[in-house]
Structure 1
Amino acid sequence: MFVASTVCFLVFMYVASVACRADREPECSRFHYEEQLLEKMVRMEFNVERIQQRLDSVSESCAKLDDSTRLTEEVKDQVGSVYTRWGQDTCPTGSSFIYDGFVAGSHFTHTGSGVNYLCLSKEPIWANGSPTASNVGIIHGSEYETDSANIWTHLHNNEVPCAVCKSRGPTMMIPGKNICYEGWKLEYHGYMMTSYHGHAGSKEFICVDSEATVAEGSNSGDQNGALLYFVKAVCGALKCPPYDGNELITCAVCSQTK
């Protein structure tokens, strides 16, 4: 009887122990799940902080890049290049206007004085005391000589305007083309002009705007001065083709963009 009672007691204790563990199992599993969830949340928060740090770093780099870009643009604005737009008294879009004036140079019959065309200011300022001299070089206004051409005949004998402009990059004049090369922006295009080949006074070649106008206060009277003629090629040492002795030489003024 005692043995049977003992066996029954042990069986009861074993069953109770198993039941207790079974009752506690869900509670232990919930705790473990919550612990894992908390751990994942901590890791996620840590990762978010790292991502935020990277974003802050990228934002800082972008800000520096923006500053660098602005600085580059400012440097371009400060450096740039100054050029003359012959035949117009305004500057192309994207270039800064400095001043406008009148094209001038030495008389077409004179062998002395300067050989270049100038853009004389419309607002001359004289030196104090009105100094003067008797032996001097002489400068004349410029006129279009276009009566023998099939274009610009309405400009013939009128005076020539000009504008001095500042581009955002280095500039060059390309004779023989009316477009720019890759990496260069067109400021304006037009025709090469210079003095007549039979005149005594030689002049430089300049690029006169294709939309040439007349100078302020101009008249069509034949006053002569520093004359401007179109330019043609002479075949021989200058190869035809690509050149053509019957065509007017074009030109383009370009500013560098790259």
Structure 2
Amino acid sequence: MNMIDVRESLPKRIVANLRTPIKMKGFVIGAITLVVLFCFSSTVTFYKQQIGKHRTEIETLRQAVDEISVQQRAILRRSKRSIATNQRARRVSAYGVSYTRWGRRDCAGSAEMVYHGYAAGSHYTHTGGGSNYLCLHSNVTYTQGSYVSGNQGTSYIYGVEYKDSNTITNIFDMVDTTESGSVYLHTVPCAVCIARFKVTQIMIPGRDTCPDDWTMEYGGYIMGENHSAKHPSRYICVDKRPQAVPNTQGSQAASQLHVVETQCTSLVCEPYVAGREIACVVCSI
């Protein structure tokens, strides 16, 4: 090889030697890139799998929540229906008819007592006042500051006493009296009762039984103020098994109850009989 050939081949070898590291560097970069891409791809795949797994869990939770919500809505609907049913039941059970059971402190049969108290009315010597009897509550209340103490001399109300000792003893059932088997000159008790699921009630004078399909609340005798009293009074049906308010024996000269008898002046004397006491019955339907 001459000098000229040596000079010509020397640069080629140098260039070739220079290119070899460049190729190695490119190879290394390429390899690193592939590794990075593989790792990235693996990481992406892993996270995709995790996301898919979490999506499945989330969907399961969502379905569980939806199921719980459905159950809660069903429970809420049942609760609302139950509340509505109870409200209807309360409204149904709330209706009924009320009446006063004169001569007793309790109610008969299935009737419920609203309150009990004392029969009260106008004094038998007074020409004014009310003609009706009231059942005053046994536990009276006075609103503080809403009353004037002392008698004002205008209108009064008194307790009602049983009169007609012999008649009452002969025709009334005295098993429930409170003192000495007698109600004579005792204060008359009363009770306000309600008969549930009934739409009307009536007091029938002259009968001791109720019409067909009606329920008897109680039976007794017609009583009212003495015919010589200074004012008229309402006739009431006093229970045939009368009670008396304890510790009230003795004439108080107040309002009075007498057993009522028929007179034939204008009543038809058949079937009515002069001088007989009038039975009565309180009926509901």
Using the size of structure 1 for normalisation, the TM-score is 0.67
2:266 counterpart residue number: 237
Shift in CA distance, 125/223, structure 1 to aligned 2, threshold 3 Å = same
One-letter code aligned to 1:114? G
SS at match of 1:155: coil
Matches within 5 A, 1:186-197: 186-197=216-227
What's the % identity of the aligned pairs?
37
Residue of structure 2 in register with 1:226 after alignment:
255
1:39 — aligned with what?
none
Query: Is 1:127 the counterpart of 2:143 in the alignment?
Result: yes
* Cα RMSD (Å): 2.2
**Are 2:278 and 1:249 equivalent residues in the alignment?**
yes
Over 3 Å counting, the alpha-carbon distance change for 1:243 and 1:166 in structure 2 is: same
Match of 2:124 among 67, 86, 108: 108
Mapped to 1, the partners of 2:223 and 2:275 lie a distance apart of: 15
Partner of residue 187, structure 2: 159
Match of 1:183 in 2: 213
Q: What is the count of residue pairs matched by the alignment?
A: 187
1:105, distance to aligned residue in structure 2 (A):
0.5
Secondary structure of 1:154's aligned partner:
coil
Given that 1:157 and 1:224 are in contact with CA atoms closer than 8 Å, whether structure 2 keeps it comes out as no
Deviation of the 1:90 alpha carbon: 0.4
TM-score by length of 2: 0.61
Deviations 1:115-152 (A, max 9, x none): 10010001111022152272431000010002242345
Q: Which residue of the partner structure matches residue 141 of structure 1?
A: 159
User: 1:163 is matched by which residue type in structure 2?
Assistant: A
Question: Which residue number corresponds to residue 208 of structure 1?
Answer: 238
2:48 is aligned to none
Alpha-carbon offset, residue 74 of structure 1: 6.0
By how many angstroms is 1:183 displaced? 1.4
- The Cα of 1:75 is off from its aligned counterpart by 5.5
Larger-gyration structure (1/2): 2
User: For structure 1, which runs of at least 5 residues remain unmatched after alignment?
Assistant: 1-67
Partner SS state of residue 190, structure 1: strand
1:76-115 matches, cutoff 5 A: 77-115=93-131
- The one-letter code sitting in structure 1 at the alignment partner of 2:195 is S
Aligned partners of 1:104 and 1:118 also within 8 Å: yes
Distance in 2, Cα, partners of 1:136 & 1:254 = 38
CA distance in 1, matches of 2:133, 2:269: 29
Distance 2:92 2:154 in 1: 40
Counterparts of 1:124 and 1:94, CA distance in 2: 26
Query: Hey, what's the Cα distance between the residues in 2 that align with 1:76 and 1:115?
Result: 35
